[in-house]
Structure 1
Amino acid sequence: MKNLLLQNISKHVSLTSEEEDIIFNAFEKASFKAKTIVIKPGDEAHFTYFVLKGILRSYTIDDNGTIHILSFATPGWWVADMYSYLTGKPAVLYVDVMEDCDVLILQRCDAERLFTEVPKLERFFRILTENNLIANQQRILDKMALTAEERYEKFLQKYPDIINCLPQKYIASFIGVTPEFFSKMKSNLLRKK
Structure 2
Amino acid sequence: MQLMHQFLLKQVAISDEDWLLFSSRFEQKIYPAKTFYLKAGETENYLTFVDQGLLRFYIEDKEGNDTTIGFSFEGWFMTVFSSFYTRKPSLYYGETLAETTLWRIHYDDLQEMYSRLKIVERIGRLATEQLLLLKSERELSFLLKSAEERYLDLFHKAPHLLQQVPQKYLASYIGITPQALSRIRKRIS
Segment of structure 1 superposing worse, 152-161 or 24-33 = 152-161
Misfit runs of 4+, over 3 Å: none
Cα contact 1:57–1:69 (8 A) shared by 2: yes
Q: Matches of 1:45 and 1:156 in 2, distance apart?
A: 30
The 1:185–1:64 alpha-carbon spacing in structure 2 relative to 1, beyond 3 Å, is: farther
Post-superposition offset of 1:65: 2.7
Task: Answer yes or no: is the 8 Å Cα contact 1:80–1:95 preserved in 2.
Answer: no
Question: TM-score, with normalisation over the residues of structure 2?
Answer: 0.95
Question: How far did 1:88 drift?
Answer: 0.6
SS in 1 for 2:99: strand
> Paired residue for 1:100?
99
Q: Retained in 2: the 8 A contact 1:57–1:71?
A: yes
- The DSSP-based 3-state class of the residue aligned with 1:171 is helix
- Structure-to-structure mapping, 1:64-79, within 5 angstroms: 64-79=63-78
Structure 1 CA distance for aligned equivalents of residues 58 and 104 of structure 2: 19
**Alignment gaps of 5+ in structure 2:** none
Q: Equivalences for 1:1-193 in 2 at 5 Å?
A: 2-190=1-189
Which structure 1 segments of 5+ residues have no match?
Answer: none
1:119-148 per-position Cα deviation (integer Å, ceiling 9, x unaligned): 111111111111111111111111111111
C-alpha displacement at 1:165, in angstroms?
Answer: 1.4
Which whole-Å deviations, capped at 9, do the CAs of 1:8-61 have from their partners, x for residues lacking one? 212221111111111111100010001101111110211122100110111111
Matches of 1:75 and 1:112, distance apart in 2: 24
- Quick one: which amino acid aligns to residue 55 of structure 1? L
For 2:74, give the aligned amino acid: P
- The answer to whether the 8 Å contact 2:54/2:98 transfers is yes
Taking the aligned partners of 1:137 and 1:66, their CA distance within structure 2 comes to 24
Report the Cα distance in structure 2 between the residues aligned to 1:158 and 1:65, rounded to whole angstroms. 30
8 Å contact from structure 1 (residues 55, 73) kept in 2: yes
Question: For 1:11, what is the secondary structure of its paired residue?
Answer: helix
What amino acid is aligned across from residue 85 of structure 1 in structure 2?
F
Please report how far the alpha carbon of residue 161 of structure 1 lies from its aligned counterpart in structure 2 after TM superposition.
Answer: 2.1
Letter in 2 for 1:64: E
Work out whether residues 77 and 127 of structure 2, in 8 Å CA contact, stay in contact via their aligned partners in 1. no
CA contact (8 A) 2:49 2:75 kept: yes
Over the matched positions of the two proteins, sequence identity in percent amounts to: 29
